[in-house]
Structure 1
Amino acid sequence: MRILHVLSAEFFAGSVAYAVQLAEAHRAQGHQVWLLSDSDQLPTGATQLKAPIVNRRYGQRLRNARTIRQLVRQEQIDVVHAHSRAASWVSYLALRGLSVPLVSTVHGRQHLHTSTSLFDIYGDKVIAICENLREHLAAEVKMAPAKIAAIPNGVAFGPPPLPADEAALRVSFIGRFNGGKGERAAALLTQVFPVLLRQFPALRVALIGGELEHLPAVGKTALTQLQAEFDARVEVVGFTDDVAGWLARTTLTVGAGRVAIEALGAGRPVLALGEASYAGLVSEATFAAAAASNFGDISARQAGTAVDFAAVLADARVFLQAPQPVSAALQQQVRARYDLARVAARVLEVYQAARMQKAGIGYIPVLMYHKIPDAPLATKHQIYVTKENFEKHLAYFQQRKLTPITFADYLQFARGERPLRDFPTRPIILTFDDGYTDNYTNLLPLMQQYGYRGVLYLLGDFDVRYNQWDVDADPTEPRSDIMSPEQKRAFVAAGWEIGAHTMRHPRLSTLPLPEAAAEISQSKAALETALQTEIVSFAYPFGDLNEDVKEAVRAAGFALGVSTDTGGLTIEDDRMQVFRVNMFPNESTSSLFKKTSTWYRKYYRWKRKK
């Protein structure tokens, strides 16, 4: 893809680091990247152009918008990514009337004034860097929840640093000295650090990441007094390129946002103190709640930001009396969640989603079939369509000029591997679960007769040769055989997409998460090895899922997860929960019309009050 980042970069804030690291990650994957910002000296190999994005005067905004529009046309940009409200405004103006999508990352709470609700300047998709921010945007800014993706800051973690010198007890505040962070620094200098320095004679306090002139006056006064009393034990570092080195020499880091992430990823304990709140000492037990607020920087709802600094002092005292390193489990969790490659892949999905949305590709009927027997089955599970009736379905699709595609086809268009002008006018996706033998004897010949391809969801364990999940639960249920490996390979040879359906068809939400994750990831690996084909989509057995299971599907490397009668109105509303329509034995012409119509999912939701 050809990606343009637009950002306010009058100083190197966390949002700038985020944009630069995304640019580098996507360049490493072969994408072409441009940055337009207040600086053309950012640490990136992407093409840099300079414009005063931070300048909000109307005349300058218009000039910035003109610059972006010219750049988009000249370089044939595929997506514009804005990283501040000012950047979103000028990008929104620049792209009016163009087919190029706008994605905005929102790094903090937005001002709740009239223009925020009246003008949706954030574009086609919005990335919120934490869960609290997603809630704020949906509940208070009134954004459509389907356009918001919660994706955290990505961090290019280096190897874990060597253990710090335990003899050097050090507390480091890392963050800006202006705005809300400056107020927190001043409060630490007046209420916390003096007490700690007196109680722990070996303790050093370091101030890292800001310029002293931005520190509030009360903080400057307190700092002067501390330096006079404790001399070299108070270290004023300011801006530094060696944050990693300072983290390695720090016993306890005080900070929020990216600072907290990098510290925890380096195995250094963190007191999470941000502009919105105090989240305390981060542990395995408190990590989820701390991460939801970006470690104290962002509240979900409008609220006061007062902090009990007596609690901060008490927590710091307890920790310094018996310092404990970050557990290996917590460090691993942080590194996995904020891994730059993982985050960059998620952001790329958002670009693709915005691209498809901007192109007007909305509802695509995704139909779910199972067995295609010669005659009706004596079963309480109405998950079959006879061969005779299925041929009627195919004739109906052909009559209505519906074009079957696969999810793999869809992804090729979304990724820019095939031109969107070639995307079918009336697409449909036909999916078939479990891999019954009648799929080979009846389904495959019929689909080939009509020139159609579909998506076949198979179990990774080829030793499963019948529907044992049904028979074991109810011995009266008829046994339905599953295809042999050779028969499964015939679908690959016919150009079908193969998807994964776990190893042995369990209800994933009932399993311990590690077992569910193994069922998911192992099925992908087993199918790719046995059938020598790329597996990009996953079907949840029984349509059974929850948020943890969905995340396990994404973590296993699937681009899409398909459900049963639940999910978004479009594929891009939630790629991990694509809505599929159940097909039953006695579908009529009218039900086929209904289930392939653009209004069906909205109707389904309304009818079932979902």
Structure 2
Amino acid sequence: MKVLQVLPALDSGGVERGTLEIAEALVQAGHESWVVSAGGRLVSQLEAAGSRHVHWDLGRKSPKSLLQVRPFRRWLSQNEFDIVHARSRMPAWITLMALKRLAPGQAPHLVTTVHGLHSVNRYSAVMTRGERIIAVSETCRRYILDNYPSARAEHIRLIHRGIDPSQFPRDFQPSTEWQANWQQEYPQLQGKFIVTLPGRLTRLKGHREWLQAIARLSQRMPDLAGLIVGGDAPGKADYAAEVRQQIKDNGLENIVTMTGHRTDMREIYAASNVIISLSTKPESFGRTVLEPLAMGVPVVGYARGGVAEILQALYPAGAVEPGDLEGIVDAILGVYNGQHTDVKPNDVFLLEKMQAETLKVYQELVAP
């Protein structure tokens, strides 16, 4: 097969990571893998793994982007792809319009992936226009069926996102060098029970509720340390200032540490006692929930969206009714007191399974 994936850019994020993972699977299986994007720091990694990248900015949310339709149609016609896989809304619109005027035997099959629970409107509806629609969780599948009646259930394929067990191995221990550097950088964390909230400083991640939980726990856990891992989000400086002010107002300066952006999340998961997920809205999946659980680290979070699916499969004791902050506190105390520490092995959300099932979707269309 000759497969093209289309997305806005290749900088960072779950969509980008999934694109690289499928590109790698295509190459390893002997297929031809192409990606169109506006570029980014992951392009070199994509090309090193055997895919071709074409620099084309189809993700800009502007009416001017529609000027790309005709040249993109001409390019698609010249390259004779079997599959075009659209992973984002604006590139999906340009792709859909480009395919419309190609001759039936000349047009590649269109696959779309619903990665997120977007606002329900005509703009978002394009992600349900593929001949096959991939939903990254049962939450996503239900979102499609509930909000887009024109999407046919038999065309939707539920393919959970997955991780490579070798990247997040069970009972992983950081290197001696990493531990020494960590101790030197954050000596205040040594010997503490570390409760970690990963995620950039955006309101969606629930930092302020987490700080309320930390304030309550500090009265009952003398060795408590709270850890916020994530940098300031672009355009969210006011929220970041709110978080820092709340730390000060609650007298948590000696308990809460903010690391900023880090690239060593696996090691930080291993150094933590509990990971927290308090997203204020349902998420389509929840990679920062799955990764530590795969390593055997307990995760406590609000049971909604994709996070609920992961917790139910791997660590039901960590699932708390959304909004029940006291339930979050109790679940953390349970781990602190040695209860509910057993996390099930991850045999559900696996990268290899996700790759194989995605290639199977392509093959359904190319060779039914």
CA distance in 2, matches of 1:241, 1:68: 36
CA distance in 1, matches of 2:311, 2:76: 43
- The equivalent residue for 1:238 is 260
CA distance in 1, matches of 2:64, 2:231: 32
- The equivalent residue for 1:146 is 154
Q: How does 1:173-184 map to 2 (within 5 A)?
A: 173-178=197-202, 180-181=204-205, 184=206
Partner-residue secondary structure (3-state), 1:86:
helix
Following TM superposition, by how much is the alpha carbon of 1:238 offset from its aligned partner in structure 2, in angstroms? 3.0
**Counterparts in 2 of 1:337 and 1:285: CA distance versus 1, 3 Å:** closer
Match of 1:125 among 122, 125, 132: 132
Following TM superposition, by how much is the alpha carbon of 1:351 offset from its aligned partner in structure 2, in angstroms? 0.8
- Could you list the runs of 5+ residues in structure 2 that have no partner in the other structure? 180-189, 278-284
Tell me if the contact between 1:186 and 1:219 (Cα under 8 Å) persists in the aligned partners: no
Would you say 1:265 and 2:294 are equivalent positions? yes
Following TM superposition, by how much is the alpha carbon of 1:349 offset from its aligned partner in structure 2, in angstroms? 0.9
Would you say 1:342 and 2:353 are equivalent positions? yes
Following TM superposition, by how much is the alpha carbon of 1:116 offset from its aligned partner in structure 2, in angstroms? 5.5
| Alignment-mate amino acid for residue 319 of structure 1 | V
CA displacement 1:120-145 (0-9 Å, x = unmatched): 76321000011121122123211100
CA distance in 2, matches of 1:145, 1:281: 23
CA displacement 1:234-287 (0-9 Å, x = unmatched): 232333221111111111112361111111111111123488597499365865
**Counterparts in 2 of 1:341 and 1:280: CA distance versus 1, 3 Å:** closer
- The equivalent residue for 1:314 is 330
> What RMSD, in angstroms, separates the aligned Cα atoms of the two structures?
3.4
Would you say 1:157 and 2:165 are equivalent positions? yes
Following TM superposition, by how much is the alpha carbon of 1:114 offset from its aligned partner in structure 2, in angstroms? 4.8
Partner-residue secondary structure (3-state), 1:188:
helix
CA distance in 1, matches of 2:227, 2:235: 17
Tell me if the contact between 2:113 and 2:127 (Cα under 8 Å) persists in the aligned partners: no
- The equivalent residue for 1:101 is 109
How many correspondences in the alignment?
334
| Alignment-mate amino acid for residue 258 of structure 1 | R
Tell me if the contact between 2:11 and 2:40 (Cα under 8 Å) persists in the aligned partners: no
**Counterparts in 2 of 1:149 and 1:24: CA distance versus 1, 3 Å:** same
Identity of aligned residues (%): 22
CA displacement 1:24-81 (0-9 Å, x = unmatched): 2322222222222233321423322333333121221331x34543443344322111
Following TM superposition, by how much is the alpha carbon of 1:187 offset from its aligned partner in structure 2, in angstroms? 2.5
Match of 1:52 among 27, 32, 57: 57
- The equivalent residue for 1:112 is 120
| Alignment-mate amino acid for residue 307 of structure 1 | G
CA distance in 1, matches of 2:233, 2:27: 36
Following TM superposition, by how much is the alpha carbon of 1:110 offset from its aligned partner in structure 2, in angstroms? 3.6
CA distance in 1, matches of 2:302, 2:52: 36
| Alignment-mate amino acid for residue 131 of structure 1 | E
CA displacement 1:456-513 (0-9 Å, x = unmatched): xxxxxxxxxxxxxxxxxxxxxxxxxxxxxxxxxxxxxxxxxxxxxxxxxxxxxxxxxx
Partner-residue secondary structure (3-state), 2:263:
coil
- The equivalent residue for 1:194 is 215
Structure of greater Rg:
1
Following TM superposition, by how much is the alpha carbon of 1:7 offset from its aligned partner in structure 2, in angstroms? 1.4
Partner-residue secondary structure (3-state), 1:282:
helix
Tell me if the contact between 1:186 and 1:216 (Cα under 8 Å) persists in the aligned partners: no
TM-score between both structures, scaled by the size of structure 1: 0.49
Deviates more, 1:27-36 or 1:136-145: 27-36
Partner-residue secondary structure (3-state), 1:244:
helix
- The equivalent residue for 1:88 is 92
Q: How does 1:505-584 map to 2 (within 5 A)?
A: none
CA distance in 1, matches of 2:118, 2:310: 27
CA displacement 1:548-570 (0-9 Å, x = unmatched): xxxxxxxxxxxxxxxxxxxxxxx
- Could you list the runs of 5+ residues in structure 1 that have no partner in the other structure? 297-304, 356-413, 415-571, 573-610
Tell me if the contact between 1:180 and 1:275 (Cα under 8 Å) persists in the aligned partners: no
Partner-residue secondary structure (3-state), 1:95:
helix
**Counterparts in 2 of 1:212 and 1:113: CA distance versus 1, 3 Å:** closer
CA distance in 2, matches of 1:157, 1:337: 11
**Counterparts in 2 of 1:235 and 1:281: CA distance versus 1, 3 Å:** farther
TM-score between both structures, scaled by the size of structure 2: 0.78
CA distance in 2, matches of 1:315, 1:258: 20
Partner-residue secondary structure (3-state), 2:46:
coil
Partner-residue secondary structure (3-state), 1:337:
coil
**Counterparts in 2 of 1:281 and 1:19: CA distance versus 1, 3 Å:** closer
CA distance in 2, matches of 1:132, 1:176: 23
Match of 2:229 among 195, 208, 211: 208
Following TM superposition, by how much is the alpha carbon of 1:87 offset from its aligned partner in structure 2, in angstroms? 2.6
CA distance in 1, matches of 2:303, 2:229: 15
Higher relative contact order (CA 8 A, sep 6+): 2
Would you say 1:250 and 2:266 are equivalent positions? no
- The equivalent residue for 1:79 is 83
Tell me if the contact between 1:36 and 1:48 (Cα under 8 Å) persists in the aligned partners: yes
| Alignment-mate amino acid for residue 348 of structure 1 | L
CA displacement 1:315-344 (0-9 Å, x = unmatched): 2233223265443xx22xx2x222211111
**Counterparts in 2 of 1:277 and 1:91: CA distance versus 1, 3 Å:** closer
